[in-house]
Structure 1
């Protein structure tokens, strides 16, 4: 089965902690602080590799983490940055935030790179906290946590032209005849369970990529049958060849088939329904096809849809159809370029915008005030509670960040207990 969707967890590297260190050199009896900064945590980066075709690798491994930054060292030496984690994906991969549904990246070109989770900043060493009154600071700042999130990866085929139509109308046979692709061909529904790609070369020397996509049925826009998989791949194409069985081998009316499939396209996406369509009236070599073909041609050409009589089994009409498709593809590509030049099409900029977290939250349980949040937990971790300078810095940050003011608003009194992470202390103003 073609793996075109995967859900994985990403964790960027934590920044290294700042170091508490002092100069201990011969002939320097009163050496000052010399703790270096921690290194930055590694990012999680996605890179397009045109040699890949599926998301199969991400089916079996769900958790990915980048390297942490190294802690700061003595002699003001910085810790090394953590290595980035590089994940290779096929062209056509879209990455979404599972929680918000926001598109974080739309990766289409070979070598294209996108940072999805950023590593945490390294912490500051004690060398940064020396002042005129604090000559030997015995505290440093811990490194920040890296970004962590769950993403949904979707692979959409990148093809110039897509083959659409009900199951068993002859799409796979058509593809096998006009390209070197070798799809499975048999007389049962949903023969094509995986999208097949092939390169078409016309007799005039033009070429384009053609995709035979799994068959579409009523209710596809709701996910019935292979609906969502089908529609997801059709989105990438610029022109559609709509194959109809004008011989009505399975007893269906080709005009009704045309209407039903276009209704499904429209219900899934208005933009998808507006793509240029060329109808390939297939199986015209079979008895009874001529009457249906004339009816289909008259009806569809009256609404501006070009109809070509073909027989994939005997190669009838294929050269004329492919030449027309190639020309229509060039026109569609030119229209797309003009839309970009004229600014009709909005530029898509995908950014990672994690939900901004408040620096802290405070909740009251009787006479205990519990302060929570990544910021305050990092502050606690960075504080040396046995050192007066470090403790003074801790209290200064609590006031500067508004934590003390909010405690007062919640009605804290002298002697009440404040709890931050595993640290508890009595409050006195």
Structure 2
């Protein structure tokens, strides 16, 4: 079977669905393919902190009605260490910019519903297996669903929104992309539990046993993180170990945090990754297909949607007569924002995490950690800098961003 469309979107996550909705609203034909089922995609719990620019962009395109009605607006976060705690009111320090707490799976459901209501073509259970002709005028995306005949989608452009392990980036010939990666020296045990949050703020707790995080999701569901060794396994963390660790590291009493059913438990691969450029021929990479960032600071989904916003604007300009040249600047426009977020995430990780025991510089690194925490608490300029980065990275001029050849 063969289809023809203008833009083939690989992956029905926040980036792919945002791009598809914006293109559809502009009358640009597109097809979205997704390897998982609709039920799986709409239940997949991931991020939950949506920054002010993402909310504004979605609202401008009529995609934020439920987010604004049901999401919780937040403008402060809390840090804890050795029984002391303080809040950073980042909204007050960043021109009233704030976050909304709204689980990613809820946003995905909204975006799926909007796209289908507009008559969009969204093919679930259609794994993309190959991309051909990316250097020509008519790329072809091939899908091989389990219960249907193979599908070839001929298109003008491909938007690769299919994650780190998807086919999109793998379709780029060897040597065409520069890869920048870092494996961090600690892991996170991620827990999703059916228990109410202990307060109205995100909590970052420093502890000699390791970092603990309290992340808001809904009034009855909370996300927690616990620092753990690299290579740790979820089965090493039975429920009877998790709850005492959370109480101890977060400094909570039994009345503040009551154990509830744990619905998700996994160890995160704490890795940072960026490819440059984020495009090849008629293929454009978005979200995790182009960059992985740690959960520290809640930047991943926001960067993915920012990629979608950038590419959508350039595709609209192209189809309105600007020509293909307008698409050439996609990577240069996205990468400064991505590296700004990577730098902040790396800084926050090393503020929060206990240095590995037994390392020769662990005592030195711990003193640096305490100095950073004290400056965050008592230095207005330092706190303002944190607030500005936390609420959303600035946009440096693309013209100032060095070309890939200059960085080798």
- TM-score bin (small chain): under 0.3
* Larger helix percent: 2
Max Rg structure? 1
Higher relative contact order (Cα pairs below 8 Å, separated by 6+ residues) = 2
TM-score by length of 2: 0.20
TM-score, normalised with respect to structure 1: 0.19
